[in-house]
């Protein structure tokens, strides 16, 4: 089985890290993985996206024109990438930055106020983990335990004290139900 996810937002939102963490978690499970980042010349405020492909066997191409899931961190990303979600796929929307929209026939949508949740947890920069948790709750092709292990192994030493907050953010995102279900 192959799963394709596109994460998109502004630089500084943790878009690339969320995708990279998913890729590391899949590697922890012995899966085949590709991770392709794309970002503008600006580090913060420019556009950023990445595609992650996770498969049980060799991946034919890392390119993905119709992903099974899109995680939209902001409005411009929803507009650009939301229509690409494959029929029967999942759209995860950051409702803190995109109050409405994204619903369309043939896909499921989960809206999560990721920034607000991260603020409540006392770690505003963890909105990316909240959104990753929502994705994996509705498309559990990688185990949460693998994501937490990947965090322990790949989070820089200076951020290791944030491991419990990252774990809480993942679990908080996982609690959100679907807003709309594919028809």
Residue-level pLDDT, tens digit, the chain, 183 residues? 999 999 999 988 999 999 999 999 999 999 999 999 997 765 566 789 999 999 999 999 888 999 999 999 999 999 999 999 999 999 999 999 999 988 889 999 999 999 999 999 999 999 999 999 999 999 999 999 999 999 999 988 998 898 999 999 999 999 999 997 776
Contacts of 33 (CB under 8 A, 6+ apart): 23, 26, 27, 52, 53, 54, 55, 59
Q: Do 121 and 100 touch, CB atoms closer than 8 A?
A: no
> Nearest to residue 32, comparing CAs of 53, 63, 18?
53
State the pairing for strand pair 69-72/108-112: unpaired
Say how far apart CA 140 and CA 143 lie, in whole Å: 6
Say how far apart CA 84 and CA 42 lie, in whole Å: 25
**Domain 2-174 top-level CATH class:** alpha beta
> Nearest to residue 127, comparing CAs of 179, 172, 69?
172
pLDDT of residue 181: 79
Helix (H, G, I), strand (E, B), or coil: what is residue 28? helix
Contacts of 22 (CB under 8 A, 6+ apart): 5, 35, 52, 54, 132, 135, 142, 147
> Nearest to residue 95, comparing CAs of 81, 116, 80?
116
Say how far apart CA 55 and CA 61 lie, in whole Å: 11
Say what the pTM is: 0.94
pLDDT of residue 169: 97
Domain edges within the chain: 2-174
pLDDT of residue 12: 87
């Amino acid at each position: 089985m192959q799963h394709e996810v596109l994460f998109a937002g502004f630089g500084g939102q943790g878009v690339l890290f969320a995708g990279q963490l998913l890729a590391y978690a899949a590697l922890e499970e012995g899966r085949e993985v590709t991770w392709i980042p794309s970002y503008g010349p600006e580090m913060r405020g420019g556009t950023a996206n990445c595609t992650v492909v996770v498969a049980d066997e060799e991946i034919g191409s890392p390119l993905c024109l119709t992903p099974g899931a899109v995680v939209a961190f902001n409005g411009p990303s929803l507009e650009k990438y939301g229509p690409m979600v494959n029929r029967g796929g999942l759209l995860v929307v950051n409702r803190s930055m995109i109050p409405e929209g994204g619903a369309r026939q043939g896909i499921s949508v989960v809206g999560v106020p990721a920034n607000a949740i991260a603020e409540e947890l006392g770690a505003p920069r963890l909105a990316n983990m909240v959104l990753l948790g929502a994705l994996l709750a509705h498309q559990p092709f990688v185990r949460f335990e693998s994501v937490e292990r990947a965090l322990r192994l790949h989070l820089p030493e200076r951020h290791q004290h944030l491991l419990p907050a990252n774990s809480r953010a993942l679990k908080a995102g996982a609690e959100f139900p679907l807003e709309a279900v594919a028809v």
